[in-house]
Amino acid sequence: MNSGYESRDTMDSLFLEGLEVPCRVGCTDPERATPQSLRCEVRLFCKSLREAGVADDLEKTVDYRMAYDMIDAVQGREYLLIERVAEAMAEVALKHPLVDHVSISVKKRPPVQGLEWAGVTITRHRAA
């Protein structure tokens, strides 16, 4: 029965903004020689976070300390593309049983004069 507070189409989300992820990424060896600080935005979509809010219970939500796991998944590795970095982070997020889908933006300062940021946004859903 619908409680009147949410419809069946409701999707709640948690977000992690300004996540800094140290990573060796780039298409050339010199670009990957030194870790760069990637800037990431993560949005975790869940069917409902109402139970967590009503109960005030961390066990009923997604702990935003998941950010540590996302950093750990990419730190210390080398990638050619930020697209792969985003995929690795999405894989971590989708392991959590409450996360239905995730949207991740990753941006970096590219080695192109006059271009401040280059980035990618992906959205990935839990496998059915």
Per-residue pLDDT of the chain (128 residues; tens, 9 = 90+): 444 555 556 799 999 999 999 999 999 999 899 999 999 999 999 999 999 999 999 999 999 999 999 999 999 899 999 999 999 999 999 999 999 999 999 999 888 889 999 999 999 999 86
Contact (CB, 8 A) for 86 and 33? no
Instruction: Please tell me the pTM assigned to this model.
Output: 0.88
Residues 91 and 89: their CA atoms lie apart, in Å, by 5
Q: Which uninterrupted H or E stretch holds 54?
A: helix 50-55
Centroid of chain to Cα 56:
24
Give, in words, the CATH class of 12-125: alpha beta
Question: In this structure, what DSSP letter does residue 59 have?
Answer: G
DSSP bridge pairs for 66: none
* pLDDT the model gives residue 127: 82
